[in-house]
Amino acid sequence: MSREDIYAQLVPIFQDIFDDDDIEIEDGTTAKDIDGWDSLNHINLVLGAEQEFGVKFKTSEVAKLQNVGEFVDLIGLKLSK
> How many domains, in total, are found in the chain?
1
- Residue 81's pLDDT band, with cuts at 50, 70 and 90, is confident
DSSP string, 18-33: TT-TT----TT--GGG
Is pTM, for the whole model, over 0.75? yes
Mean per-residue pLDDT for 66-73? 97
Strands, E assignment, 1-81: none
- Given this model, what pLDDT does residue 73 score? 97
- Given this model, what pLDDT does residue 57 score? 97
Range of the domain at 59: 3-79
pLDDT in tens, 9-59: 999 999 999 999 999 999 999 999 999 999 999 999 999 999 999 999 999
Task: Check which CATH number belongs to the domain holding 62 and give it.
Answer: 1.10.1200.10
